[in-house]
Amino acid sequence: MSLEGWYTLKHRDFALTCGARFLVMLAMHMQNVAIGWFIYDVTADPFALGLLGLAGLAPALLLILLTGLAADRIDRRVVLIGSSTAMSLAGLALLCQVASGASMVWPVYLFVAVFSAARSFYNPASQALVPNLVPANQLANAIAFTSGASQAAAISGPALGGLLYAAEPRLPFLVATACFVLAATSAFAIRHRSAPPPKEPVSWRSLLAGIEFARSRPVVLGAISLDMMAVMLGSVVALLPIFAKDILHVGPWGLGLLRSAPAIGALLMAAALANHPFVKRNSGPKLFQFVIIYGLATLCFGLSENLYLSIACLVVAGAADMVSVVIRHTLVQAETSDALRGRVAAVNSLFTNTSGELGQLRAGVIAGFFGSVPTVIFGGLAAIGVAMLWARLFPDLRHRDSLVEEKPDAARA
């Protein structure tokens, strides 16, 4: 991370918001590793792992219209406090479930759904709040910093979760719950208060405004839908417990390393982009190139039977995916007015979350019929195919040169 990126932390409320997001992400990644190992250890069924994706997807789909509107109509600080408090309570309940020694898995799916619902409110409010906390000329650095912090959590969370689970299965759930509580405390300490919302009655038009905005901007729609399709088809997260246990023959610690590997690549790429932002020009072509690299890395992972080669493949996949993340987030934040940021961020979060959850469900179902290795190989090839198809469907995105168009006050219109 460049010194200019660290400079954004002088803004107290931004530092608190970024810290709270780091804690939430750290807790989620710790829990996800522990939940995945617990489910597969109890059921030994790939389909049971896939159902985790469905449990996380359903609330995100059902709440999409409300979560963005909440971030635009309610003080975003209040939304952060409420959603992180809900995660704290769900984390405590999940800890009690695991500590009881019960082998039932349906309560775990229920808690995953609660986490997904809370996260569906948390993410849009957190994303929409950032432009209110830093000057416009520091927005790109703030986004790069928050992305880097999220990736740091994605590196340390799975590794820590795997190590804690190997030592004592209850530990990752206990530490995750503590992180959620600290995140809620950090959000409570934020001083910024959102401006009073316009006195506009809630209507279908206001609920659908974020979706309509994304639909009317081919560049934005192309970027977020490309990311969704590539990750949905190429995601291997749901199958990592199977690869760790049955193919690479490593324990929970090995699963933690595999889960951390994409985030290591993403963090390295985020640092590279912060110091040498090579995506500011020819951003469209580079987006498609890196999606293809993501697909190739996924394909190589499916063919690997060596732990270190597998980790390397996931590192490359994570680095390639980070390019898509930076381009997508910068486009969305720079081209959206503050009055719509929450709803557009909700659409962006839905695409992002949907890709991961549907990817888990897809991988679990297909692996149940054809095996884990063929499923991953198919996913890598499919991601490459999607990049080629989207390049034809969205020519404006393919020919996009400058990442941020020079439009006065575009970020604060």
Cβ within 8 Å of residue 336, ≥6 positions away? 213, 344, 345
Predicted local distance difference test score (pLDDT) of residue 315 = 95
pLDDT tens digits for 66-93? 777 777 778 888 999 999 999 999 999 8
State which residues of the chain have pLDDT below 70: 1-7, 140, 194-210, 274-275, 277-280, 333-343, 345-346, 349-350, 352-354, 402-413
Task: Delimit the domains of the chain by residue range.
Answer: 3-191+206-406
Q: What is the token pair recorded at 124?
A: 């849009």
C-alpha distances in Å from residue 23, one per residue of 68, 129, 224: 22, 17, 25
Residue in this structure with the two tokens 């590279």, named with its chain if needed: 272
Q: 200, exposed or middle or buried, with CB in 10 Å at 0-12, 13-18, 19+?
A: exposed
Helix (H) or strand (E) holding 141: helix 139-167
The C-alpha atoms of residue 252 and residue 360 are separated, in whole angstroms, by 19
pLDDT tens digits for 191-228? 877 665 555 555 555 556 667 777 777 777 888 888 88
Could you please state the CATH topology (level 3) that the domain comprising 3-191+206-406 is classified under. Growth Hormone; Chain: A; (1.20.1250)
Predicted local distance difference test score (pLDDT) of residue 181 = 95
Predicted local distance difference test score (pLDDT) of residue 55 = 83
Cβ within 8 Å of residue 231, ≥6 positions away? 321, 352, 355, 356, 359, 383
Claim: this prediction has a pTM higher than 0.85: no
Q: What is the token pair recorded at 9?
A: 């932390």
